[in-house]
């Protein structure tokens, strides 16, 4: 099969300029559920979120968000969007999904007093992968607040974009106004948290494209994980092998997404654009170019359904910034020069200083045609159990995830189990001197089976 590049004009639409660029804090807006004739894009960025530090040798770098924002600004993309400085999430908003003792722990723990909390580290999964660092709870408030505010903005606008997120909280907010929400994840790691949160409801369909071999972090995402109870068949997993290339990935993505949207008929979409699925990622093992990664954004955008785009993994920071800048340009229908504009962090992008470096073809593609066809057929078979989009009675969403799922449980109890089985076959220190950052091996994907923090 001949190789194709997705770094061409075919993924860029004509741009209609809107010079009304605004920077403001969020305020309540009226609800609009009708389709949008004109795409409006809102960009959410907290300038302080890039100033946190997980540790010198930790691969998760919040500073990548600062690099991304500088590229967005110096390309002039902010002139084609409404720009928002999001507020921080409140305690009560974070408690909608997280346990009170866990939130209290995050508020109290610091590097100076961490020893006092060691007895609960294992309970809260805190340690080498998810370390205690200065300002940890404030950091969580910043990125959760961005997604919550972007979700609220989406109620009135066709497209929202932010690079920090707490996806479950964002989806809960969307469910207050949209009958059905589709979550699509193109991070190399399985979207286990969002899947688990909505595993038993038919109002959220989760679709994850990820590496799966049973061992690769987080170890979930088998194609047979399809949901339960009312949510049976509403979790779609697309397990992939090492080295998948542009043509294979984009073909399978298009096939699956066309079928999912045609069947589920979502009223809003959340797209998680984890950049660790790019070739040459520190913790990744795919061969995707930035162009192909962006093509997935273009495919979703062309459905003209209200869309929230959020960041995810990505551990070669210069490529993360390139990727998310390019995908921002897709959302605002703007073609960018391959030569990066001068900016404060331009030295991060040497030696080529280009938007689209060569990232693909360094690993053997273990996804042969037979395997891809088999995965496609399994997904299509699962979707065939969904006769049509679920009929949703728009009721007030309870203030937390448990209340939401308990409501689904009450609906299940009211139905005959056998009938459900027939009808419902269907998750301040930016750079230290000893930083593990850019080096000679930075563009060599290591394909390791663990990761420190998936979603940012």
Q: Is 160 marked as binding a ligand?
A: yes
Q: Is 371 marked as binding a ligand?
A: no
Taking the C-alpha atoms of residue 39 and residue 207, their distance in angstroms, rounded to an integer, is 24
Q: Which two tokens stand for residue 259?
A: 């079928």
Q: Which two tokens stand for residue 144?
A: 């959760």
| Contact predicate 272/191, CB 8 Å | yes
CB atoms within 10 A of CB 330: 21
Nearest C-alpha neighbor of 440 from the set 356, 351, 328: 351
With vertex at residue 394, the alpha carbon angle to CA 388 and CA 395, rounded to the nearest 5 degrees, is 140
Q: Is 219 marked as binding a ligand?
A: no
| Contact predicate 186/273, CB 8 Å | yes
| Contact predicate 167/187, CB 8 Å | no
Prior bond of 218 cis (ω within 30°)? yes
What are the phi and psi torsion angles at 206 (to 5°)?
-110, 135
Q: Is 189 marked as binding a ligand?
A: yes
Q: Is 227 marked as binding a ligand?
A: no
| Contact predicate 451/217, CB 8 Å | yes
Q: Is 440 marked as binding a ligand?
A: no
- Half-sphere exposure for 177 (CA within 13 Å, toward CB): 20
Annotated binding site for substrate: 129, 160, 315
Annotated binding site for a divalent metal cation: 187, 189, 276
Annotated binding site: 129, 160, 187, 189, 276, 315
């Amino acid at each position: 099969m001949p190789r194709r590049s997705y770094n061409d004009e075919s993924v860029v639409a004509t741009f209609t300029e809107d010079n009304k660029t605004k920077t403001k804090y969020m305020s309540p807006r009226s609800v609009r559920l009708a389709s949008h004739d004109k795409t409006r894009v809102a960009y959410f960025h907290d300038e302080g979120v890039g100033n946190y530090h997980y540790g010198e040798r930790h691969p998760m770098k919040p500073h990548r968000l600062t690099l991304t924002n500088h590229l967005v600004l110096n390309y002039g993309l902010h002139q084609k969007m409404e720009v928002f400085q999001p507020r921080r999430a409140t305690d009560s908003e974070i408690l909608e999904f997280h346990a009170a003792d866990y939130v209290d722990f995050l508020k109290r723990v610091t590097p100076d007093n961490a020893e006092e909390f060691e007895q609960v580290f294992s309970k809260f999964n805190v340690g080498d992968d998810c370390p205690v660092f200065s300002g940890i709870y404030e950091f969580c408030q910043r990125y959760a607040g961005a997604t919550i505010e972007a979700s609220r903005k989406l109620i009135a606008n066709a497209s929202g974009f932010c690079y920090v997120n707490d996806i479950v909280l964002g989806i809960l907010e969307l469910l207050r106004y949209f009958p059905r929400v589709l979550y699509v994840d193109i991070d190399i790691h399985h979207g286990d948290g969002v899947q688990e949160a909505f595993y038993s409801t038919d109002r959220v369909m989760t679709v994850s494209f990820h590496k799966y071999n049973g061992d690769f972090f987080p170890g979930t995402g088998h194609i047979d994980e399809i949901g339960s109870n009312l949510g049976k068949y509403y979790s779609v997993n697309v397990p992939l092998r090492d080295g998948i290339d542009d043509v294979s990935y984009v073909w399978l993505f298009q096939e699956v997404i066309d079928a999912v949207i045609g069947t589920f008929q979502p009223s809003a979409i959340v797209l998680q654009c984890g950049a660790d699925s790019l070739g040459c990622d520190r913790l990744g093992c795919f061969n995707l170019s930035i162009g192909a990664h962006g093509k997935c954004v273009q495919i979703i955008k062309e459905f003209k359904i209200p869309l929230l785009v959020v960041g995810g993994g990505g551990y070669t920071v210069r490529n993360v910034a390139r990727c998310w800048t390019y995908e921002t340009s897709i959302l605002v229908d703007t073609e960018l020069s391959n030569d990066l504009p001068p900016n404060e962090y331009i030295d991060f992008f040497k030696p080529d200083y280009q938007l689209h470096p060569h990232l693909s073809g360094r690993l053997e593609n273990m996804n042969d045609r037979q395997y891809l066809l088999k995965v496609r057929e399994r997904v299509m078979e699962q979707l065939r159990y969904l006769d049509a989009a679920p009929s949703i009675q728009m009721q007030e969403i309870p203030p937390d995830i448990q209340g939401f799922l308990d409501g689904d449980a009450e609906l299940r109890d009211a139905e005959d189990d056998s009938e459900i089985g027939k009808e419902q076959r269907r998750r301040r220190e930016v750079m230290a001197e000893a930083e593990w950052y850019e080096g000679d091996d930075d563009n060599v994907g290591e394909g390791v089976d663990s990761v420190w923090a998936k979603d940012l």
